[in-house]
Each structure stands twice: as structure tokens, then as C-alpha cells.
Amino acid sequence: MLRALYSSAAGMQSQQVNLDIIANNLANVNTTGFKKFKAEFQDLLYQTDRAAGAIQGNNNQLPAGVQIGHGSRLVSTARVFTTGDLTQTGEKLDVAIQGDGFFEVELTDGGRAYTRDGALKVDQDGRIVTSDGLALQNGFQPIPPGTTSITISPTGEVTTNGPGGEESFQWQLVRFNNPAGLESLGRNLYRETSVSGNPEIGSPGDKALGLGTLQQGYLELSNVKVVEEMVNMIMAQRAYEINSKAVQAADEMMRDSNNLKR
């Protein structure tokens, strides 16, 4: 019964973390380029009272053993990098990635970060920046003064028209072998880690690298599905409730055992 208390408490703690993750997903349902988290759990160590395959009397081998678990624990909060729905905005510097890939930006400390948020702006120097003012990298050149139009092709070729005539340059994306291993920095930014793999740079639509294409005038919405998260929330709530009932049942059984002497 004491073991049931600890197992149920571990289950309640796991479901509380699960609910925290679901709540964060729902809070970011309207965050551009947000990738939802999923909680992954493992069962804890088992107490083996009788091993399977042990020999009993008359040389009989036990077909099954006796093992009692001790609950569950959280082992990872993996991001799901499926592409979110695209919404049309009509803005010339709103760009969505349809498929795999990230935009590379320069942090204020000179480091590099990566994002799927394509709500881009032009700063006072003509540089293309994010909403936080972080400059875009990988070939996106400053926009000349007086530019009247900007065209971005699905394969990353950027063409500008202005007083100086037509200018073109190639914009590239970045991908990782294990994007789930990226470190989340907040502000729609990710940072490379030792398990994400090295950044691989290529042109949008590069089939050899598996890079997605660009869609000008669109933004990628969050890949959070509200109905799915609501169902997950109900399941987490019910699992938490059942574990709390197990704690109550174990407590009542211990109370009954203590009252036997009366």
C-alpha cells in the first residue's frame, strides 16, 4: 500500500507536467511558426519478487515472474516539427517555409539562431530583420533605398526593382538532421546543440538536402491543433484524477489495517 502511494504520486506528477506542456501549446496556438511539444514518459524501476524462468519444485520452470513497478517519469519534451497551415497576408516581406528548413538570424551577441517565423521587416539601414530586429543571414542583402517591389521566388531568388534598376540575389535556408535536438530560446528562436547536428545550408527546394520552398505573402501558423490539445488535456485530467483516487484508496486500506487491532 505504501508503494501504491509513491507510484500514484509519481503518476500525478507526470500528468501535472503533461498538463503544463499542453497549456503551453494552447497558449501559443496563434504564435507564428510555433512547433508544439509532446511529453514522453517512461516507467520507473521494477521490484522483482520472482524472476520469470526460475526453477520451482519438481524442476518446473516459471512461465512468468512477479514484478511490481513504481510509477512513471518524464524523459523528454520533444518538439514536433510538422509544417503548420499557411495563411495569406499579402505582405511582400511575409515569407513562409513550406517543408523543412529554418531562417538563420544573427543574435545581438554575434551568435547564430534559427527561426520559422517569417514575419520580416526592413530596418533603417535597409537590412531585413525579424520583429525583434535580428538581421537575417544567408544571402539576404540590404534593400536599396527607393525600392518599389520585392519578389521572392519559391527557390529563394530575390529580385528588387528601384531607381538603380533590377537587382537579384540568392537567399538560402538551413536544416538540421535532428531538429528536435535544437534548444528553444523563446521569441520563436532555436539554437544549435551537440545533438541537433551541424547546420546544413542550401537553396530552398534543394531535394538533396530536403529543404522546403518559400511562399511570399504567407505566414506559417502554429501546428497546434486546438481540438487535439483539448482531448489531451481531458485525458491528462482524468489520469491525474484516477491517480489521486489510488492515493485515497491506499490511504483508506492503511487506515483499515491500523484499525484491525481494535
CB-CB contact of 1 with 233 (8 Å): no
The torsion angles phi and psi of 240, rounded to 5 degrees, stand at -65, -40
- Both 38 and 98 in one domain: the answer is no
Distance CA 223, CA 85 (A): 7
* Residue at 127 is within a domain: yes
Cα distances (Å, whole numbers) of residue 36 to 84, 193, 214, 216: 10, 19, 21, 24
* Residue at 54 is within a domain: no
- Both 108 and 40 in one domain: the answer is no
pLDDT of residue 261: 66
- Both 41 and 137 in one domain: the answer is no
Number of compact structural domains in the chain: 2
Q: What range does the domain containing 116 cover?
A: 86-220
* Residue at 60 is within a domain: no
pLDDT of residue 132: 93
- Both 8 and 28 in one domain: the answer is yes
- Both 38 and 122 in one domain: the answer is no
- Both 149 and 245 in one domain: the answer is no
- Both 130 and 154 in one domain: the answer is yes
- Both 73 and 92 in one domain: the answer is no
* Residue at 63 is within a domain: no
CB-CB contact of 172 with 201 (8 Å): yes
Low-confidence ranges of the chain (pLDDT < 70): 1, 261-262
pLDDT of residue 75: 93
- Both 92 and 214 in one domain: the answer is yes
3-state secondary structure 76-88: EEEECCCCCCEEE
Output DSSP code: residue 42: E
* Residue at 41 is within a domain: yes
* Residue at 57 is within a domain: no
Helix axes 226-258, 2-27, angle to 10 degrees: 160
Note the residue count of the chain. 262
pLDDT of residue 54: 78
- pLDDT above 90 covers what percent of the chain? 77
* Residue at 119 is within a domain: yes
- Both 245 and 171 in one domain: the answer is no
pLDDT one-digit tens code per residue, 35-94: 999 999 999 888 887 788 777 777 778 788 788 888 899 999 999 999 999 999 999 999
- Both 237 and 145 in one domain: the answer is no
Q: Please compute Rg for the chain using Cα positions.
A: 27
pTM summary value? 0.87
Q: Cα-Cα-Cα-Cα dihedral of 36, 139, 121, 185, to 10°?
A: 30
For the chain, the farthest-separated pair of C-alpha atoms sits apart, in whole angstroms, at 99
* Residue at 32 is within a domain: yes
For Cα atoms 116, 36, 152, give the angle at the middle one, nearest 5 degrees.
20
pLDDT of residue 262: 61
Complete DSSP assignment for 133-198:
-PBB-SS-PPPPTT--EEEE-TTSEEEEEETTEEEEEE--EEE-S-GGGSEEEETTEEE--TTT--
- Both 90 and 206 in one domain: the answer is yes
H-helix or E-strand spanning residue 203? none
